Structure 1
């Protein structure tokens, strides 16, 4: 890695602070969601960090993410796959791998093929429309469980609503269904997403399931000042050029860009080949505690309008103001942070 390459700097102390704070706040164990490369923070580094500080339960979306964790060869660890997987042999070979059951059809298939219910978590969908057994199938699901006297590793739902009253309604429905089935059928009960961790009590839950909040990425409207952000996307100015000597910036003609009478442009080693989307053109970078506009993003480079205060080698931070970036890009922070790919090194400090 060159001195002027970009990196994601992850503050390990802040992640451990968040983990310990949430455990103490909720008085429950945590299922740490580390899908999408731990929301851009680096799945292997984050799992090892949390595992060494007492976390033994992790959730991912897909098998390929679970395989990355298995390769770490950590003892006493459980990995929950949130999406339906078709490779039953993968479950049979790895007894510490668990899977969410996302439909009644999936459950029937898994039972017919001899998959142990001790590796399965039932998921209930109260209108999210993404994953889970839908409400229309609840009666048939209840009948199947009682007739076959099934016990599962876990049961869960997802708090998807932004409206607090809707969150409470989902929690009530979830608790009522667990009571109908008898909660003793389930070793692990979990329901919260990161916003739900802040706003929902989680009655009957044995664990809290959270991802972005562990890294200090909070939802607007659901904010806890004790949670600390751990992510920084930083690098250094690679080169500075005088605009008067240029006809093009990247592939665009200089006059086609809104250069605001600036005289200098800085180049950094970050581009859409690294997952830094061209949609970020127009966002602000931070150099020497001052904001400078990003005007062009190419495959491997990005160009920033600067003034005479900026020098070659100065530190540059991207996405420092997350709320500003969210408002400009019109997408949540976990989308644009997760896009930063493996060409950018993750460094835990």
Structure 2
């Protein structure tokens, strides 16, 4: 008879190790001194939980936080976060008043935004804090050089617009070919030097370095760096070489819910993508693609049970995966299953999964869904 797990609710969860988070943050802060650190907590802190991550970093006196959208910043404010928060990227002017009201720093990417903000602050009597984004070669968001200087002139003549920073974004800092990244760094540095005459009082923070640049391009540190994926212990891409001792912050775990024996030459799971070659012992684990275990791991994935690797067989289902455990002794219903993370001396790293699926670690940590518990370990 199959063995069925009972009395244990919600076995699938991600675990967020705040000691590892602090290790990574303090390592970055120490190595980039005297540059400041802007911790990127967009996309729910890359799936790690933005409010909890922000609270930990605020307690450690992080200089800045960064999000992608106004609602992400408002969420931090409503959770009591007081540190400066920059909203990255292009934003609709509809949300400018809400950002001002919640003391979020606004990214300005074109002149129409700036002119709108001038009128808005004049009418409301409130001051807006902004960062100007310049496009040094990614050709996505930001001012090209000619309009950048027009923007500076407008800002410098505006009484209620405070320029807090000027920044750009590197498109290729994780690649082996360094030429384009160095070109972007040079363009940004030239722009920084030529901007000096505009600043007679408080100078804005110039910032450029993302995680890849922090690890490979110290000449890109300028006044502030923006660690994202490395803050959570992952390299920006499979094959990226670094000697930085960063530790993974997220692990993904479940438990065996059922163990059954399947006969020889039988299909397993949807679409009969796996056939048994002999009588096979299978563990059913209640974690599927709706939880964040990617369906492309069908017949490719591995999990850890009792410190050993076992293959995922057949199609990944919405709510379950099937694991071939054969005659491995001591495996019982309720046994812990590591989807990624460490167990004993073995690890399944996030970057390993990313490489297997030809993607990047950023995507893997964003997979776990809202129905998966997030357990914060401090």
Q: Same fold (TM over 0.5)?
A: yes
My pick for the range that moved more, 165-174 or 236-245, is 236-245
Cross-structure match for 1:345: 373
**Structure-2 residue corresponding to 1:92:** 100
CA shift in 2, pair 1:166/1:7, >3 Å: same
Match of 1:303 among 306, 310, 322: 322
Where does residue 293 of structure 1 map in the other structure? Answer: 311
Q: Which moved more, 1:27-36 or 1:215-224?
A: 215-224
Contact 1:287–1:317, Cα closer than 8 Å, also in 2: yes
Judged with a 3 Å threshold, the aligned counterparts in structure 2 of structure 1 residues 263 and 247 are, in CA distance, closer, same or farther, namely closer
Q: Is the 8 A contact 1:191 1:202 kept in 2?
A: no
Gaps of 5+ in 1: none
2:23 aligned with 1:23: no
90 and 4 in structure 1: CA distance in 2 versus 1, 3 angstrom threshold:
closer
The separation in 1 between residues aligned to 2:260 and 2:153, in whole angstroms, is: 73
Give CA deviations for 1:157-203 in whole Å, capped at 9, x if unaligned: 11221232222221111011111111746432211111011112245
Separation of aligned partners in 2, 1:331 and 1:242:
34
State the Cα distance separating 1:323 from its structure 2 match: 3.6
> 2:19 aligns to what?
13
Matched, 1:159 2:170: yes
Q: Following TM superposition, by how much is the alpha carbon of 1:117 offset from its aligned partner in structure 2, in angstroms?
A: 7.4
Q: Which of 264, 285, 288 pairs up with 1:268?
A: 285
Q: In structure 2, what is the equivalent of residue 132 of structure 1?
A: 142
Larger deviation: 168-177 or 123-132?
123-132
Unmatched 5+ stretches in structure 2: 1-6, 341-347
Partner of 2:50: 43
What is the CA–CA distance in structure 2 between the aligned matches of 1:128 and 1:52, rounded to whole Å?
34
User: Is the Cα–Cα contact under 8 Å of residues 292 and 304 in structure 1 kept in the other structure?
Assistant: yes
* Aligned partners of 1:101 and 1:121 also within 8 Å: yes
Report how far residue 342 of structure 1 moved: 1.8
Give 1:221 shift: 2.2
Q: 2:335 aligns with which of 314, 318, 326?
A: 314
Equivalent position SS for 1:331: coil
Q: 1:64: Cα distance to partner?
A: 2.2
Alignment of 1:47-86 (within 5 A): 47-74=54-81, 76-86=82-92
Q: Does 1:121 align with 2:147?
A: no
Q: Distance in 1 between matches of 2:115 and 2:279?
A: 65
Aligned pair count? Answer: 342
The 1-side partners of 2:327 and 2:76 are apart by 47
CA RMSD after TM alignment: 2.5
Residue aligned with 1:54, SS: coil
CA contact (8 A) 2:215 2:244 kept: no
Shift in alpha-carbon separation, 1:217–1:260, aligned structure 2, 3 A:
farther
Which one of the candidate residues 276, 301, 324 is aligned to 1:283? 301
- In structure 1, distance between residues paired with 2:241 and 2:220: 19
Given the superposition, is the C-alpha separation of residues 101 and 128 from structure 1 closer, same or farther in structure 2, using an over 3 Å criterion? same
Task: For residue 107 of structure 1, report the CA deviation from its aligned partner.
Answer: 2.8
Following superposition of structure 1 onto structure 2, how do residues 204-223 of structure 1 map, counting pairs within 5 Å?
205-219=222-236, 220-223=239-242
Residue 273 of structure 1: SS of its match in structure 2? Answer: coil
Superposed, 1:169-188 pairs within 5 Å as 169-182=183-196, 184=199, 186-188=203-205
Cα distance in 2, alignment partners of residues 232 and 6 from structure 1:
11
Distance in 2 (alpha carbons) for counterparts of 1:63 and 1:335: 21
Deviates more, 1:191-200 or 1:111-120: 111-120
Structure 1 residues 47-97: Cα deviation after superposition (integer angstroms, max 9, x where no partner): 1111112224211111221122112113x31111113333122023122x0
Corresponding residue for residue 230 of structure 1: 249
